[in-house]
Copies of this chain bind each other. A is one copy, B any other.
């Protein structure tokens, strides 16, 4: 397999853009990536597009807008992991020599989603009775706090950190500092989860242009390569065996570390799936950044802040940057690439060499079989 480089990344600001079309969002992200890679649209040989709710053939609809047609385009859906699944598709086709240059897109509009598109009626009986994500994670949060003595304040500090990082990222949906007190006193969504511990409803798009490493020097002085790409399906919530630890993320991360020949101690920054504040804390442990039960201490000590031992969600994460499902996985890669280039502005991590991107996606109708991706990016 050939080495594959990320030569250009781009995104839109994430936010609420109900009047902007999918095509307009996609075009902006793609053009940003194309300018970043200093490449001609015609050089792009194929594309994958991650999208969940936009209707059929999203990649074709969006790429046509900038004159990219007559190529192979595949649209993928793995829920929240759709963008990272698209990235994996492009990586694999280049690594195996099918193509030399490709584009991974992610795009989503959630603000004006017709309710009927969520799940056809009758297909999600548990959901209709109230067992939706905040309910699951509220139970997990209670159990975790009870087991390990983690405090509400420690969990809230994750929101504080990510909203702080978002203030340093012009692409972030929110650009406003919040305090622990504000997080805890914001509206209760499902006790103990409050509004400011939840990611928002977002629209946005992101794009990454990949090519074989042997060609990358034509386009960029930064040799940033994908050292690992792993995608597995499994129980994406938490098993009865251990309600507060996901084997899925742990197993996928283990495979990715082996593939990249690194360990969690080598990761210089991480973008992970903080759909709720508690999720980030759980993922610290599953990804190996701290021992079991010590997630609360890790955040308490500031180790996951930008100047900490293992900066997490420097972009603002899903909590602050936003979470337009299909776009999130590609936007994570944009953040890691900017960081590895040393071009992340006020949120720059000091001289990072290895970044990790993690997402978990699952249907609300089936919590037992979701998709998890881990990508490790190196310079």
Contact = CB atoms under 8 A, between A and B. Distances in A.
Tallying the copies of this chain within the complex gives 2
B234 A366 contact: no
Interface stretch (A71-79, A151-159, A347-355): A71-79
A76 B78 contact: no
A256 interface: no
A303 interface: no
A123 interface: yes
B119 A70 contact: no
Contacts of A98: 92, 96
A120 interface: yes
Contact of A69 (B69, B79, B235, B361): B235
B361 A56 contact: yes
Contacts of A109: 120
A214 interface: no
A35 to B, nearest CB: 22
Size bin of chain A's contact surface: 35 or more
A238 to B, nearest CB: 15
Contact of A233 (B71, B78, B371): B71
A217 interface: no
Contacts of A75: 76-78
A52 interface: yes
A362 B57 contact: yes
Interface string A61-99: 101100001111111111100000100010011001010
B120 A61 contact: no
A78 B58 CA distance: 9
A60 B362 contact: yes
Given A60-B366, A362-B60, A55 B114 contact: no
